[in-house]
């Protein structure tokens, strides 16, 4: 069955509200990709950072999962703080649903890859310097399940609460898990999405894999040389309701090709796209816009262009938004599904535009022929018809793939 994506909350390098994020997307803003010298062990890297000033707008709970915190949330991990900023945007939508169905029927599923490891890094730094961990350090704050439990605590959800950690497909899979919980009648409402924060582990780990860009990332460009690590929180309110914006189809596949490299022909990516389209009962040519995984690495973009061409042809508009948000890892699937949600929502995108594929503009003639969005193509599309359906791809290490089809249901 299709499920309703009733509301959406988001914070990322483009902003801390739906309006700010869609504005940044449609103007092609790269202001959130900043050069950082604190996280890298060697030369500075560009990262997609949420400004610290953003957190000053929120008063955090004094007790979370039994851990005492102060009024400024000093004991909370950055993941928790990002998660709460997104949660506050959906709280008003959740309140009547909780009143109607009860806390036992509210579930939480969060995709993440970093969890609170940044907090653990800080604690270890003090331990190495002084011989003692900080007084407020607790190992559970860096466990994979901590952000899901934190969000459940915010609304006192008593249904299933768990995390998914499959690298960059994590939060796309959270939406599929939400669908499964609703279909199995284990919940009436699911808070589903992803949260990931910047940390030394990921910034330096991807650098060690020779996967980070020397400049701001350039998806699908002939000059592309890697990713910019980003951070984000993206949370959906998911229900069984009909109408509105729906998850029409979803499919997961596994390449089992290589630990970190994608299948060079995009076989698993193509199968995920085709199966998601089949579940949505759509042809590839009927999709109005595809948000590609588009990491800006040579191998990913090459194989995804092949998959995109074989699934949807050469006319469907497509592109990556990571040139504006950075690659938010475990949060990427939900963030980019949320970008599709914003594009389909008349309030936030009344002119039915789609984001350009922001890069340095150098054409790679070796890629399969796909219709990367530029200003001219966007204008031609919006003059013809309104947005009705979008697809979002997320492809992770180990060949762990997911494609989502999101559309309006009349």
Active-site hit among 138, 263, 293, 345: 293
What's the CA gap between 228 and 216, in Å, rounded?
Answer: 7
Could you confirm whether 327 is annotated as catalytic? Answer: yes
Burial 92-107, CB ≥16 within 10 A → b, else e: eebeebbeeeeeebbb
Closest CA to 319 of 285, 292, 354: 292
Instruction: Collect all residues with Cβ–Cβ distance below 8 Å to 290 and sequence separation of at least 6.
Output: 308, 312, 316, 317, 318, 319, 390, 391, 392, 393
| 299 contacts: CB under 8 Å, gap ≥ 6 | 261, 262, 264
Q: What's the rounded Cα separation, in Å, for the pair 173 and 404? A: 9
- Both tokens of residue 396? 């992770």
257 is an active site residue: no
The active-site residue, picked from 155, 168, 340, 390, is 168
Radius of gyration of the chain (CA): 20
- Measure the CA–CA gap between 124 and 40, rounded to whole angstroms: 17
Give the C-alpha separation, 5 to 319, whole Å. 22
How far is it, in rounded angstroms, from Cα 214 to Cα 408?
Answer: 39
> Is residue 390 annotated as a catalytic residue, yes or no?
no
Which one of the listed residues 327, 345, 352, 390 is annotated catalytic?
A: 327
How many CB atoms sit inside 10 A of residue 128's CB? 8
Catalytic site residues? Answer: 168, 293, 327
């Amino acid at each position: 069955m299709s499920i309703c994506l009733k509301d959406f909350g988001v914070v990322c390098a483009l902003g801390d509200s739906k309006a700010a994020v869609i504005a940044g997307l449609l103007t092609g803003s790269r202001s959130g990709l900043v050069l950082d010298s604190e996280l890298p062990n060697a030369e500075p890297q560009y990262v997609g950072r949420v400004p610290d000033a953003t957190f000053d707008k929120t008063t955090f709970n004094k007790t979370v999962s039994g851990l005492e915190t102060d009024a400024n949330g000093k004991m909370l991990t950055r993941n928790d703080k990002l998660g709460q900023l997104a949660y506050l945007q959906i709280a008003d939508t959740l309140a009547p649903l909780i009143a109607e169905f009860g806390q036992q029927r509210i579930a939480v599923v969060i995709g993440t890859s970093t969890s609170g490891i940044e907090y653990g890094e800080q604690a270890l730094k003090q331990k190495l310097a002084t011989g003692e961990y900080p007084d407020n350090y607790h190992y559970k704050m860096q466990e994979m399940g901590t952000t899901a439990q934190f969000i459940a605590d915010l609304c006192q959800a008593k249904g299933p609460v768990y995390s998914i950690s499959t690298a960059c497909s994590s939060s796309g899979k959270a939406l599929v898990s939400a669908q499964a919980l609703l279909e199995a009648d284990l919940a009436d409402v699911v808070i589903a999405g992803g949260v990931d924060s910047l940390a030394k582990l990921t910034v330096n780990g991807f650098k060690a894999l020779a996967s980070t860009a020397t400049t701001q990332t350039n998806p699908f460009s002939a000059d592309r040389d890697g990713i910019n690590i980003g951070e984000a929180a993206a949370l959906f309110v998911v229900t069984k309701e009909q109408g509105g914006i729906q998850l029409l189809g979803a499919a997961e596949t596994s390449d089992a090709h290589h630990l970190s490299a994608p299948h060079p022909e995009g076989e698993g990516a193509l199968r995920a796209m085709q199966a998601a389209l089949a579940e949505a009962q759509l042809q590839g040519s009927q999709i109005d816009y595809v948000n590609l995984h588009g990491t800006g690495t040579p191998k990913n973009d090459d194989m995804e262009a092949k998959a995109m061409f074989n699934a949807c042809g050469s006319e469907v508009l497509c592109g990556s938004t990571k040139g504006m948000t950075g690659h938010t890892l475990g949060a990427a699937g939900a963030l980019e599904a949320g970008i599709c949600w914003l594009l389909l929502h008349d309030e936030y995108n009344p002119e039915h535009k789609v984001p350009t594929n922001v890069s340095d503009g150098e054409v790679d003639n070796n890629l399969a022929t796909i219709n990367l969005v530029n200003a001219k193509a966007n204008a031609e599309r919006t003059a013809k018809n309104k947005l009705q359906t979008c697809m979002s791809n997320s492809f992770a290490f180990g060949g762990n793939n997911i494609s989502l089809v999101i559309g309006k249901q009349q």
